[in-house]
């Protein structure tokens, strides 16, 4: 690392050369900020992607980070800092490394009603793991290295550098005497700590002695990329294996041991099966409300062992019988070696397989439905069939997460699943960022029409920058997830419910054409497969506008009686 000789250069040159030397291929931004740096980055072969909003730029950086393991870099001038901070929420929740760069007016202008200037530190505090002012270019070598390392540490999360100058020009034009940094070795997770052998032995003995063990792998397990190790341990224990929504696709979703996503965005059998466990092994799982269906699955009092690289996750929601700190992949390998291949009672696993088979038989007619408007379950089945072996599926939050997380099957090998951690509208810009990180892989974005409205202006970015993704819009002319509940609340005032949650109808193919892109309208189920084939094969962004039924209900999570 850092083999170039130390020399004197401007802050802009140091920043640009360090970003390029660290292997970054793209930087996302909204003008006007770091103009000198961005010009130099273009000269160095780093692609600079101008977005139409700071949140969209942040989501692009987020998608890029989740695919590459490198920090996604996003920049905005001082007046855009608040918008940029808001865009970091999803990356914070999903544990994605982001390097956010903002301009900041100099101290002499602070506290004097400077135009559109507010304090940045309070904005970034909830959504960053490290944030610092950079008043002088000479500070860049130290602070950039520290911020970069912090972003990819466990847990990976956004970091923020506030560069002096409205457009960061004070730092850009200052002087640095140093070698450009090569930070390419720092990827998330940067540090893979091994477990305590004594804790491994204790956990192995407990697991061997417990007949009904279930495993729940969370987003931390997905970050560790420990799919094979999870399956090896599950096979040794004859344990049903569930995942969080964020870890969907970590193992083959059709594997006999895999019972699907658990929690609030679950199909019914997964929560039922987990409820029958004597002991739950959480692997890189945050035990939050979404993973546990509001702390009802597993039930309070269920025995728990936790594996996590972040010690703050222990004892968060459940009393932890044994805690194993370390990278999940390293811990699982050690645990599997200690456990060996014991004889196991397979009755619990047989119950799980029977329950899952019954669910699949029950849902099968919907996966083949010929109804029009289209049942989104049929759309899920068609995406399963169309997604390439190394394809990337990017899903929005809400019903988009439930449909894709319960009914789209993934191979657990070359395919990747990314989902919004909660920010509606995230998926389309994030899909563009993911494509930038993986230019040779096909990217399919699942977005509801309500979510797509947030950032449809980025269709122009996709066309201008030549970023090719397939955007599948589940177009039901409303917010489908909340529709039946609101209609019940409205009672005999159906018009009031429609005023609150229905919109459109909009033909998004016409919107796509207005941006100079292709659109394919799908109104009948038999049109889905050819539309997906055409869109995925294209070398440009194509909008596949699928007219679906707002009355169609996604699978509903089961919870034990109160």
Q: What is the DSSP letter of 245?
A: G
- Round to whole Å and give the CA distance between 491 and 308: 47
Do residues 75 and 101 touch, judged by C-beta distance below 8 A? yes
CA terminus-to-terminus distance, the chain: 58
The reply to whether CATH 3.40.50.2300 applies to domain 368-547 is: no
Contact (CB, 8 A) for 22 and 187: no
Residue 84, CA atoms < 13 Å, CB-side half-sphere: 34
CA distances 452 to 93, 283, 475, 522, Å, are 21, 33, 10, 17
pTM over 0.95: yes
Please report the pLDDT score of residue 114 as a whole number: 87
Provide the residue-wise pLDDT of the chain in tens; the chain has 562 residues.
Answer: 445 678 999 999 999 999 999 999 999 999 999 999 999 999 999 999 999 999 999 999 999 999 999 999 999 999 999 999 999 999 999 999 999 999 999 988 888 888 888 999 999 999 999 999 999 999 999 999 999 999 999 999 999 999 999 999 999 999 999 999 999 999 998 888 899 999 999 999 999 999 999 999 999 999 999 999 999 999 999 999 999 999 999 999 999 999 999 999 999 999 999 999 999 999 999 999 999 999 999 999 999 999 999 999 999 999 999 999 999 999 999 999 999 999 999 999 999 999 999 999 999 999 999 999 999 999 999 999 999 999 999 999 999 999 999 999 999 999 999 999 999 999 999 999 999 999 999 999 999 999 999 999 999 999 999 999 999 999 999 999 988 888 888 888 888 888 998 999 999 999 999 999 999 999 999 999 999 999 999 999 999 999 999 999 999 999 999 8
pLDDT in tens, 9-35: 999 999 999 999 999 999 999 999 999
Q: Which fold has domain 7-178?
A: Rossmann fold (3.40.50)
- The pLDDT assigned to 3 comes to 57
Domain 197-352 has CATH 3.40.50.1110: no
Domain residue limits, the chain: 7-178, 197-352, 368-547
For 213-243, b/e burial (b = at least 16 CB within 10 A) is bbbbbbbbbbbbebbebbbbbbbbbbbbbbb
Tell me: the pLDDT tens digits for 338-367?
999 999 999 999 999 999 999 999 999 999
- Which pLDDT belongs to residue 4? 62
What is the structure's pLDDT at 57?
Answer: 98
**In angstroms, rounded to a whole number, what is the distance separating the alpha carbons of residues 158 and 431?**
18
Scored b (16 or more CB within 10 A) or e, 343-359 reads: ebeeebbeebbebbeeb
Q: In sequence order, which ranges of 215-346 are alpha helices (DSSP H)?
A: 219-224, 227-237, 268-275, 289-292, 328-339
The reply to whether 368-547 shares the fold of 7-178 is: yes
Other beta carbons less than 10 A from residue 511's beta carbon: 18
Task: Report the DSSP beta bridge partners of residue 324.
Answer: 307
Sheet architecture: strand order including 258-261 = 258-261, 241-243, 213-217, 279-283, 303-308, 322-325
pLDDT at 487 (0 to 100):
86
């Amino acid at each position: 690392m850092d083999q170039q000789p130390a020399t004197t250069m401007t802050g802009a040159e140091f920043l640009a050369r360090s970003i390029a030397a660290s292997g970054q291929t793209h930087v996302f931004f909204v003008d006007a900020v770091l103009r000198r740096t961005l010009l130099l980055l273009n000269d160095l072969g780093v692609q600079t992607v101008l977005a139409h909003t700071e949140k969209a730029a942040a989501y692009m950086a987020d998608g890029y980070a989740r695919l590459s393991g490198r920090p996604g870099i996003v920049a905005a001038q001082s007046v855009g800092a608040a918008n940029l901070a808001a865009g970091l929420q999803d990356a914070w929740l999903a544990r994605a490394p982001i390097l956010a760069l903002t301009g900041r007016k100099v101290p002499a202008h602070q506290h004097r009603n400077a135009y559109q200037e507010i304090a940045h530190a309070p904005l970034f505090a909830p959504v960053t793991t490290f944030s610092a002012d950079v008043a002088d270019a000479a500070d860049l070598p130290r602070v950039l290295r520290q911020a970069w390392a912090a972003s990819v540490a466990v847990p990976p999360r956004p970091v923020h550098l506030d560069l002096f100058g409205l457009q960061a020009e004070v730092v850009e034009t200052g002087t640095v005497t140093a070698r450009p940094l090569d930070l390419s070795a720092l990827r998330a997770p940067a540090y893979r700590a091994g477990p305590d052998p004594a804790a491994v032995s204790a956990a192995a003995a407990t697991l061997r002695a417990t007949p009904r063990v279930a495993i729940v792998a969370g987003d931390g397990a997905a970050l560790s990329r420990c799919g094979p190790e999870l399956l090896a341990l599950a096979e040794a224990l004859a344990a049903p294996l569930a995942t969080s929504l964020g870890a969907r696709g970590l193992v083959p979703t059709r594997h006999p041991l895999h019972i699907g996503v658990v929690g609030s965005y679950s199909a019914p059998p997964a929560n039922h099966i987990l409820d029958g466990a004597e002991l739950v092994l959480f692997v890189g799982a945050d035990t939050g409300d979404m993973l546990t269906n509001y702390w009802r699955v597993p039930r309070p009092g269920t025995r728990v062992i936790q594996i996590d690289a972040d010690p703050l996750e222990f004892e968060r929601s459940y009393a932890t019988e044994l805690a194993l700190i370390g990278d999940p992949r390293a811990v699982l390998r050690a645990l599997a070696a200690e456990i060996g291949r014991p004889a196991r009672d397979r009755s619990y696993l047989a119950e799980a397989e029977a329950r899952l088979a019954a669910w699949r038989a029950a849902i099968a007619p919907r996966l083949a439905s010929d109804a029009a408007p289209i049942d989104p379950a049929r759309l899920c089945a068609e995406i399963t069939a169309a997604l390439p072996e190394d394809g990337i599926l990017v899903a929005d939050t809400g019903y988009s997460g439930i449909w894709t997380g319960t009914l789209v099957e993934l191979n657990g090998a070359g395919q990747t699943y990314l989902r919004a951690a909660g920010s509606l509208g995230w998926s389309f810009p994030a899909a563009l960022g993911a494509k930038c990180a993986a230019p040779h892989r096909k990217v399919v974005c699942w977005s509801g029409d309500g979510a797509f409205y947030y950032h449809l202006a980025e269709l122009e970015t996709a066309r201008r920058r030549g970023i090719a993704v397939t955007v599948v819009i589940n177009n039901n002319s409303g917010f489908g997830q909340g529709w039946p509940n609101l209609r019940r609340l409205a009672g005999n005032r159906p018009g009031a419910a429609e005023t609150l949650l229905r919109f459109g109808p909009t033909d998004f193919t016409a919107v796509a054409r207005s941006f100079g892109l292709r659109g394919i309208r799908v109104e009948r189920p038999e049109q889905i497969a050819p539309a997906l084939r055409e869109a995925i094969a294209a070398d440009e962004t194509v909008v596949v506008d699928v007219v679906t039924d707002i009355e169609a209900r996604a699978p509903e999570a089961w919870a034990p009686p109160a």
